[in-house]
Amino acid sequence: MRAYNKITSLIVGVTVTAMMLQGCGSTSKAESIQGVAADAGADSSEGAAENAVAEGLEAPYFTRGVYVNYAKGVENPTMEEFYVFMDEKYGHTDNGVTGAGEPFDVVQNDDGTVNFYFGGKNESEDVFTVTSCENDIVTGSFEDGKEVVFEPVFMPKLAVEPEDFSAENYLNGPEHSVYHDANGWSVNYDADKFNVTHENGQVFFVYTGESSGTNMITVSYIPEVTGEKAIKELGESWGNDSVTYAKRDYLGGEEVATYSASFPPSEDGSGLYMEALGIDHMEGALVFEVTGHNGNDEALDMEASDNLALIIDSFTFD
């Protein structure tokens, strides 16, 4: 019961390690690249001197994957700007500190130049001249003459694909991961303890630690319904006579009317318990549904329950 009570309290009270890509065969560019390369300072003349197209280069220089971008020749350079290449023709930037990013189209030429179109192919081009491409690390300069480095972060075959890459989470580490939803909200979670997936417009945070059964949070956005109505309908769908309903004035760190439904685990059987929290959001309802299981190991039950509770406690609007 202690594990259930932890969740119920919410309702009632509530470096970069470079790896090889198969290549080398935001903010706007002016802000991100020049900002990153600003550290180059006195090295700009050296960069300009080396800005001749190196011999033996062959496009493509950038392939599907993620590259961290930083100024060349600077001790302890700023390494927070990332280029996420979905393939050899387009991608987006991602700043691990500000969260800013910008889409880009790219044309890679055999003469050692790369045309970037920050904001899309209809925008003006920014020409990057490659001076070196060794071990998949690309060095060169934009038209300001300051040399920068593009160093690969991981191979596409690894578990994290470019589509799922988050510069913020990469820099902060898995235990401080943040999930940002397109519907304008975010939560913190430990990526070492949860798998996060999407399906049919829902987000699933599935606890992967040792536990007595499935422990997860399902987040759904339901259009054209109030949070109160969504919670009432969800509670009724559980088909449990022990369901109770309540209302409070906050969800996580936000002051917002929050409606809840819950039923406790039975003393025998599977130990299943359910919780749900709903709010009005974007002309619809945002619902957090907790599915938990208690077993015979109280410590395991509390560990799972505490980690679920931490996610809900961290809720905030973006």
Spatial separation of the C-alpha atoms in residues 198 and 212, rounded to whole Å: 24
CATH 3.90.1150.10 fits 29-154, yes or no: no
Other CB atoms within 10 Å distance of the CB of residue 164:
11
Tell me which residues of the chain have a pLDDT lower than 50.
1-2, 5-6, 8-20, 26-52, 155-158
Q: Which residue, among 153, 148, 39, has the nearest Cα to 94 in the 3D structure?
A: 153
Q: The domain 2-14+174-317 belongs to what CATH superfamily?
A: Mog1/PsbP, alpha/beta/alpha sandwich (3.40.1000.10)
> Is the alpha carbon torsion for 58, 60, 62, 64 positive or negative?
negative
Other CB atoms within 10 Å distance of the CB of residue 8:
21
Q: Which residue, among 77, 14, 73, has the nearest Cα to 46 in the 3D structure?
A: 73
Contact in structure between 21 and 64 (CB atoms under 8 Å) = yes
Give the domain ranges of the chain. Answer: 2-14+174-317, 29-154
Distant-in-sequence, close-in-space partners of 276: CB < 8 Å, separation ≥ 6: 231, 234, 235, 260, 261, 262, 287, 288, 289, 290
Q: What is the pLDDT of residue 50?
A: 44
pTM: 0.69
pLDDT for 79-103, tens place per residue?
A: 999 999 999 999 999 999 998 999 9
Q: What is the pLDDT of residue 161?
A: 78
2-14+174-317 and 29-154: identical CATH topology: no
Q: H or E element: which one contains 198?
A: strand 194-199
